[in-house]
Amino acid sequence: MSRTTLVPIGVGSLGAVTALGLWQWAAAGPLTASPLPTAIESISALFRLGSEPEMWRATGDTLYMALLGLLLAAVAGILLGVGIGVSPLALHATRVPLEFLKPIPPIVILPIVALVLGPTAGMGVFLVFFGCFVAIAVQTSAGVFDTDPVTRDTGRSYSMNRCEILGRIVLPSALPYIGTAIRVAAPTALIVAVVAGLLGGGPGLGQSLLLAQISGNQNELFAYVLLLGLLGLAVQGVSQWGERRLLHWHPQYRTEAV
């Protein structure tokens, strides 16, 4: 490992240890009378949960909903975004509806989806899809529309047909937009999958959080919070790694590699 890699890891680890230390001090000191457990108690509860199959089943359900919903949103969003981006008329016609839907959180439609699909994994997948699809479609259409027209004209001068221009010029030009959209959507997918269980009664870690809260088991509740934080770090790390692999040819990532 190079020094440029070790320094961020060391600083990040120091920050995490400092945060845990402050948590331990606050829970054992000024907030002793509160229901807040100490960091040591929560970490111990997390290790105990690690030996229970229910925790792994809930984690698998959450990741299943998040990843499947994100995959469906990526496929549909990229296809729609490409279709919109290649036509200025379609881009302007869909801009208002897409921008209208973009800031609407999935929690707004959760009661309707729960009523139709019930507290199932399908409900979670649909909510994740709704939460990620519009943003990916908007970013993809912007990337396709921003393709350098000179590059397109150059492709036509080499007798490329529309499919070749789309595959060899337009899509590579839009990949940075698509990669960024999916990287940003990945943590959102995890959050929405948890909310589907926490507020909608669906399977997964959200339901486990709710049950721990109802039973008053604060140690287990914060253990699940720690687990979700670790999952969030893992999802973010994998999405960043995938973006770098997808865009290894991009000038920004070539500079980082050097």
Residue with token string 């509806």: 97
In a domain, 25, yes or no: no
Report the SS3 class of residue 175.
helix
Give the separation between CA 156 and CA 178, rounded to whole angstroms.
24
Type of residue at 93: A
- The CATH number linked to 200 is 1.10.3720.10
Q: Is residue 139 in a domain? A: yes
Percent of the chain with pLDDT over 90: 42
Which SS3 state, helix, strand or coil, does residue 232 take?
helix
Closest CA relative to residue 204, chosen from 61, 52, 63, 46:
61
Q: For residues 232 and 190, is the Cβ–Cβ distance under 8 A?
A: yes
Q: Which of 50, 40, 11 lies closest to 227, judged by CA?
A: 50
Query: Domain for residue 42, yes or no?
Result: no
Domain that holds residue 203: 55-257
pLDDT at residue 244, as a whole number: 85
Write out the H or E segment, with its range, that includes residue 171. helix 171-198
Q: Which of 2-6, 117-121, 126-130, 238-242 has the lowest mean pLDDT?
A: 2-6
Dihedral of the alpha carbons of 111, 99, 235, 246, in degrees to the nearest 10: 150
Q: Tell me, what's the pLDDT at 26?
A: 85
CA–CA separation, 133 and 4 (whole Å): 35
Q: Tens of pLDDT along 157-166?
A: 878 888 888 8
Predicted confidence band at 148 (pLDDT cuts at 50, 70, 90)?
confident
**Average of pLDDT values for 32-46?**
87
What are 170-209's pLDDT values in tens digits? 888 889 899 999 999 999 999 999 999 898 888 999 999 9
- What's the CA gap between 96 and 103, in Å, rounded? 12
Mean pLDDT of 232-247: 88
Mean pLDDT value across the chain: 87
Q: Residue 146 — pLDDT band, cuts 50, 70, 90?
A: confident
Higher pLDDT, 251 or 166: 166
189, part of any domain:
yes
Residue 160 vs residues 94, 143, 164, 248: alpha-carbon distances, Å: 28, 20, 6, 25
Question: Mean pLDDT lowest for which of 117-121, 228-232, 244-248?
Answer: 244-248
Q: What is d(CA 222, CA 31) in angstroms, rounded to the nearest whole number?
A: 15
How many CB atoms are closer than 10 A to CB 15? 10
| Residue 19 belongs to a domain | no
pLDDT at 46 (0 to 100): 92
Give the end-to-end CA distance of the chain in Å, rounded to a whole number. Answer: 14
Whether 257 shows a pLDDT value over 80: the answer reads no
Answer yes or no: are the C-beta atoms of 223 and 49 closer than 8 Å: yes
Pair 131, 195: CB distance under 8 Å? no
Residue 21 counted as domain residue = no
Candidates 246, 231, 91, 110; CA nearest to 183 is 246
The confidence score (pLDDT) of residue 258 equals 46
Give the count of domains, the chain: 1
Q: pTM for this one?
A: 0.87
Q: Of the spans 76-85, 88-97, 143-152, 169-178, which averages the highest pLDDT?
A: 76-85
Angle between helices 53-85 and 171-198 (to 10 degrees): 140
**pLDDT over 70 at 7, yes or no:** no
Q: What is the DSSP letter of 212?
A: H
pLDDT at 54 over 60: yes
In a domain, 43, yes or no: no
Kindly state whether residue 226 falls inside one of the protein's structural domains. yes
User: For residue 1, is pLDDT > 60?
Assistant: no
